[in-house]
Amino acid sequence: MARKDILNLKSLKEQVYEYLRSQMEKGKICPGSTINMDETSSKLGVSKTPLRDALLQLEMEGFISILPRRGVVVNHLTLKDIKEYYEIIGALESRALLSAFDRLKKEDIERLRSANREMEEAIQNDDFNLYYRKNLKFHNTFLDLCQNSSLVRVVNNLKKRLYDFPRQEGFVKSWEVASIKEHKQLLGLIERGKREDAANFIRDVHWSYEVQEKFIKDYYRQASRNLMKKES
């Protein structure tokens, strides 16, 4: 007879990590706050070892800082951070697209087009969470084909840092509309076989802090206001 209490295949460290990330994304653990290890380990019913391991991963990803005598502090996301992340993601996605270009088949291009169409529909319905998922799907189409798992891991971690601020419920609609238009431009370059132009467009337009600066400041200003409301 099969047992009902089948072991969870994920390690305790992974489960603790996912719990803390979920709390950050939902705004339950906010930038500037501290994480009490005694309270957290007691609440989750785990020892401090998996909690400490999860916190070390979060520190490597930039979400928290473990400070001597001050404990664990959740990091704020600054404009300097955002600018640096955009530069890194732009460079890496440009490299990924160059690597994946010859592997992009008709069905992959249709997958890109479909994801962008679904993003457009999501925005029309003011569904930012769906938009966010379809946006990841669009970019993951060529990231998954670049055959560089280390590159993809870095990009995914930085995107989590950028958008799980915590993730706000609202969005800057003009930015999403502009992003969809940029995706269409990128698709056109890919379909015409413009490898270098497509890679440059990803880096120098789509992930350019200077090009996107107005939208970035609007989005994170709104996110900061929403965060202050949650904390008050």
| CATH number of 79-231, picked from 2.60.40.10, 3.20.20.70, 1.20.120.530, 3.40.50.300 | 1.20.120.530
**pLDDT score of 223 more than 70:** no
| Start-end of H helices in the chain | 12-25, 37-44, 48-60, 79-100, 106-124, 128-143, 149-163, 173-191, 195-201, 209-231
- Please report how many Cα atoms fall inside a 13 Å half-sphere around the Cα of residue 123, on the Cβ side: 20
pLDDT in tens, 110-156: 999 999 999 999 999 999 889 999 999 999 999 999 999 999 999 99
For all residues of the chain together, what is the average pLDDT? 90
- Which amino acid, 102? D
Distances from the Cα of 52 to the Cα of 33, 48, 160, angstroms: 17, 6, 20
pLDDT in tens, 43-99: 999 999 999 999 999 999 999 999 987 789 999 999 999 999 999 999 999 999 999
pLDDT score, position 18: 93
Separation CA 47–CA 83 (nearest Å): 38
Instruction: List the structure tokens of 10.
Output: 């994920």
Q: What angle do CA 164, 111, 84 make, to 5 degrees?
A: 35
Indicate the pTM of the whole model. Answer: 0.87
3-state SS class at 165: coil
Task: Tell me which residue of 152, 165, 140 sits closest to 221, measured CA to CA.
Answer: 165
pLDDT score, position 224: 61
CATH code at 12-74 = 1.10.10.10
Instruction: List the structure tokens of 156.
Output: 């995914």
Q: Which helix (H) or strand (E) element contains residue 73?
A: strand 71-74
Distances from the Cα of 186 to the Cα of 36, 107, 180, angstroms: 46, 16, 10
Instruction: Provide the residue ranges of all domains of the chain, joining segments of one domain with +.
Output: 12-74, 79-231
